[in-house]
A and B are shown apart, each in its own frame.
Chain A
Amino acid sequence: MVQVKDRIKHNFISKFAIALAAVTFIPSIVLLPSCEEPTYSFDNPADPDSMDYKPPAIFFWPDSVSIVRTFSDTISVYALKIDSLAAAYIGVEYHWGSVSIDTVLVGDFFTNSNTSEFLIAEDKQGVLDIFIFYLPDETTSATGTGSIVEIVFKAELPGTYALTFVDSTEMRDADNLPILLNDMGEGLIHVVD
């Protein structure tokens, strides 16, 4: 009996060390790695998938802007999943007199190519006609989603005004064949004092 008690005293520290190892080693290697799989919600308004457009399509982005009177802001015309776009005519209807066209710039969608592009913008007091195309080499085209043109609007009178595409808006590929658009979006300009 005495031997047993001596044994208990002698081994107390080693047993404590073992117990400590047991509670550290086992959970760390065998038990702890129970990983949860994360879930992400893709609800960014800038995500074309959450805009309910059926590609191929074009839309305004941002689709709604607030501009202080006499100030300017930019709205882009975006292509959504358009395949082999080489030329486009885009007609934008706006409320003439309340907002005006300040500048029209070529978007990234066309400038990513090495081939030079041409842009012609004609403001017809309520309808902005935009012609944009690559040199007709029958090979250069742009595919995917991106900004075709950027339009700088200047606010003139307070109010809310709609931006729409004219029905004759059309896209063509490198072979000059028309690209059918399934959707054309709308935009809003809020002019505030």
Chain B
Amino acid sequence: MKSEVHSSKRVRVAKKRIFAAVMIPLLTAAPPDKIAVLDFDPHNFPPSFSKSLTEKFRQSLTDSSDAVVFSRKSTGQFSVLYQTAEEDYKSCRTLSCALEIGKKLGADYLIAGTVSNFDSTVSLNMQVFSMDFGIRVDSIHIATAGGIDSLLILAKSSGKDLGKSLTKVIGKPVEPLQYPLLAPEMQTTMLMGPRVTAAANSRSLSQPIVIHGPVPGVGLVEYLITSGKLRAALYSSAIPGSGQLYSKKKWSALSFFTTELVISGMALYHHQSYKKAHEEADRFYALYENTDFPELAPGYKEQVLHHVETLKHHNNWLKNYRDAGRLIWLINIAHAYYVGPETIYSVRPKRTDVTVSYNPVTQKPALNVSITLD
């Protein structure tokens, strides 16, 4: 008797959830599409202009659609851990790479392309990938002999057209709505801490768990080694500016490296001058000590005192440059940590899910059982 009552309650809960699955999409407006544009890969083309062209293209996409277009900073701020250690977004032209990066960035569409200059013809090849469909949905080729200005105009125009088509013509596929039947605390069996559990329970079943920052299950040492920010700081501690370069902050890297190089050069110059004056002072002091001629001793003494003054002068400058070098070195490490890429850990914990779903297209409910095996 008790088991019948319990099962009838389950059925009522399931009915309510199926009703919610049908009604919620009708009552809530669809969120705007998110489009990520990776920096166009330059071939025989100025990299700075390639970035500028990408930025103009992003702007034209933003102007022509309601979509959220990720800024360059957003697309480049993550250091994603790939099995192939691929970190250069620009070189991503394959479908699998695009899908992986697009999902990491949380984009609906990802656009990657190359801009090249051969035989006085500048061309822009772009590929548009849909994260929802998991396919390449469009490919655009622009070529002009009218130079960079002409390409810029064509790219802007193409961006506007693409923005309209992506947000109006291509609609998002209707996803079956899924609702867990098990209580949240029963779903995740991994013992990786509350942050992992929360991240695991908030995702859809097919997605990996993505956590920013230290992960309890990863361990402190592994986090220290693999953290992008700490790695940038470590690089900069070894060679000033290298952490910034790792974080793709070229100007900061150049500034820190050049400043440290100049300071080190000046410190080295004063160090050498100090050493030379020291050697001279020692040489004249030895002459002073060994002379038996009263007429020579005052001259040697004067030389010793002169070189002591010189070495003191260089030593003072050396200390100043050394202190400045230390200060800038510390600032450089702190800056490298600040601008360092945030690390994303993609982990797939063991998990057991039981969900009921309703597909509005086929108008059929479905029961999904997922058990992760070792």
Tell whether A and B belong to one assembly: yes
Q: Which residues of A contact B (CB under 8 A)?
A: 1, 3-8, 10-11, 15, 18-19, 21-22, 25-26, 29-31, 33-35, 37-38, 40, 42, 44, 46-49, 51, 61-62, 78, 80, 108-109, 144-147
Given contacts A1-B217, A26-B329, A33-B267, 10 further A-B contacts (CB under 8 A): A4-B222, A18-B235, A19-B238, A21-B238, A25-B239, A29-B325, A30-B264, A47-B288, A49-B298, A109-B295
The B interface, classified by DSSP as helix, strand, loop or mixed, is: helix
Return chain B residues, CB-CB under 8 Å to A10. Answer: 85
Q: Is the CB of B237 within 8 A of A30?
A: no
Contacts A6-B83, A7-B85, A40-B308 given; does A47 touch B301 at CB 8 Å = yes
Residues of chain A with a CB closer than 8 A to B345's CB:
4
What 1/0 mask marks residues of chain B from 307 to 349 whose CB sits below 8 Å from any chain A CB? 0100110010011001001100100000000000000011100
A33 vs B308: C-alpha distance when bound (angstroms): 17
Q: Provide the residues of chain B in CB contact with A26, threshold 8 Å.
A: 237-238, 329
| Interface residue? B285 (CB, 8 A) | yes
Inter-chain contacts of B346 with A (CB < 8 A): 3
What separation, in Å, do the CA atoms of A49 and B293 have in the docked complex?
Answer: 13
B225 near A47: Cβ-Cβ < 8 Å: no
Query: Is B354 close to A, CB under 8 A?
Result: no
Is the pair A49, B301 in contact by a Cβ cutoff of 8 Å?
yes
When chains A and B are docked, how far (Å) is the Cα of A146 from the Cα of B297?
A: 11
Q: How large is the interface on B (under 10, 10 to 19, 20 to 34, 35 or more residues)?
A: 35 or more
In the assembled complex, which residues on chain A have CB atoms less than 8 Å from the CB atom of B225?
8, 11, 15
In the bound complex, what is the Cα–Cα distance between A8 and B345 (angstroms)? 13
Set A11, A30, A46, A48: member contacting B322, Cβ < 8 A? A30
Contact of A44 among B81, B288, B326 (CB under 8 A): B288
Q: Which of A19, A38, A48, A146 contacts B308 (CB 8 A)?
A: A38
Contacts A/B (CB < 8 Å), 12 sampled = A1-B217, A3-B81, A3-B82, A4-B222, A11-B225, A15-B234, A19-B238, A26-B237, A30-B322, A38-B282, A40-B308, A46-B294
- Cα-based distance from A41 to B222 in the complex (angstroms): 58
The CA of A61 and the CA of B41, in the complex, are separated in Å by: 86
User: Which residue of chain A is the closest to B329 with respect to CB atoms?
Assistant: A30
Quick one: which of B207-246 are within 8 Å of A by CB? 217-218, 222, 225-226, 234-235, 237-239
Query: Which of A1, A30, A78 meets B295, CB within 8 Å?
Result: A78
Task: Known contacts A35-B315, A40-B304; decide if A1 and B294 are in contact (CB<8 Å).
Answer: no
Smallest CB gap from A147: residue in B: B295
In the complex, A58 Cα to B293 Cα: how many Å? 14
Q: A19-B238, A37-B315 are in contact. Are A30 and B325 (CB under 8 A)?
A: yes
Q: Is the CB of A29 within 8 A of B301?
A: no
Query: In the complex, A108→B294 CA distance in Å?
Result: 12
B292 CB–A CB distance under 8 Å: yes
Complex formed: what's the CA distance from A35 to B270 in Å? 11
- A46 and B81 within 8 A (CB): no
Q: How far is the CA of A35 from the CA of B311 in the complex (A)?
A: 10
Given the complex, which residues of B lie within 8 Å of A18, measured CB to CB? 234-235, 238
CB distance from A171 to the nearest CB of B (A): 17
Q: Report how far A193 CA is from B119 CA in the complex, Å.
A: 107
A37 near B294 with CB under 8 A, answer: no
**At the interface, yes or no: B96 with Cβ under 8 Å from chain A?**
no
Give the residue name and chain of the A residue nearest to B222 (CB): A4
On whether the beta carbons of A146 and B311 are closer than 8 Å, the reply is no
- Chain B's closest residue to A5 (CB) is B222
Q: Is B374 an interface residue (CB 8 A)?
A: no
CA distance A34 to B237 in the complex (A): 20
Cα-based distance from A3 to B348 in the complex (angstroms) = 11
Question: Which residue of chain B has its CB nearest to the CB of A62?
Answer: B292
Whether the pair A144, B295 counts as a contact (CB closer than 8 A) is: yes
A7 contact set on B, CB distance < 8 A: 81, 85, 226
B98 at interface (Cβ–Cβ under 8 A)? Answer: no
Known contacts A22-B234, A30-B329, A31-B326; is-contact A37 B312 (Cβ 8 Å):
yes
- Given the interface pairs A30-B264, A33-B267, A33-B271, the reply to whether A145 lies near B226 with Cβ below 8 Å is no
User: In the complex, are the beta carbons of A46 and B297 less than 8 A apart?
Assistant: yes
Complex Cα gap A67–B278 (Å): 40
A43 nearest CB neighbor, chain B only: B289
Q: Could you tell me the distance between the alpha carbons of A108 and B322 in the complex, rounded to whole angstroms? A: 49
Q: Residues of A contacting B311 with CB < 8 Å?
A: 35, 37-38
By a CB distance below 8 angstroms, the chain B residues around A37 are 308, 311-312, 315
Closest-CB distance, A143 to chain B (whole angstroms): 12
B368 at the interface (CB under 8 A from A): no
B274 in contact (CB, < 8 A): yes
